[in-house]
Structures are given as structure tokens and as C-alpha cells.
Amino acid sequence: MEFYFIFFMDKFLAIILGLPAALLLVKYRRQVGDAVGPIDFAEQYLGSGGTYNLVLIIALLVFILSLMYGLGTLQPLLQGTLGKFF
């Protein structure tokens, strides 16, 4: 019973911390981009404002990956794709 509770809390914390972090990155992407400064490859490949777009892409990845981990769908996906190499 205790193991299940710890396992559940790990997934629960991923959702509780990951989703708001992604939403905060979306809301404050201008401030985060200003704090980081211009990122050369993002400006080159993502166009004008590429640093802010990169922060938005990172926020989207954080949202999707934390939701997948919390729901238990990330592990089978990684095991099915990268598990062959490791």
C-alpha cells in the first residue's frame, strides 16, 4: 500500500508542478526571453522573436511530457522506441 502511494505521488507531483510551470512559461514568455537574452539559433531558424517562440515551444513540451508522465503513457512510449538501444 505504501509503495502504491509513493508511486501515485510521483505522478501526481508531475502533473501538479509541470502543468502550472508550462502555463507560467506561456504567460511570462516575454520576461523569460528578456532574462535569457537572444538565442542565436532560435533567432536564425524561428525568425524574428525566435527566442520567445523557443520559450513557447519549451512550454508546450513541458506541458505534454508532464501530462504524459502523470498519466503513465510516457514510459511505454520511451520503452518502445528508445528501449531497443538501452
Backbone Cα Rg of the chain:
16
Greatest Cα pair distance, the chain, in angstroms, is 53
Q: For each of the chain's 86 residues, which pLDDT tens digit applies?
A: 566 666 678 888 889 999 999 999 999 999 999 999 999 999 999 888 899 999 999 999 999 999 999 998 988 988 988 888 87
Write down the domain spans for the chain.
19-79
* Residues 6 or more apart in contact with residue 52 via CB below 8 angstroms: 29, 30, 33
Q: What is the pLDDT of residue 63?
A: 96
Q: What is the pLDDT of residue 4?
A: 62
Q: What is the pLDDT of residue 5?
A: 62
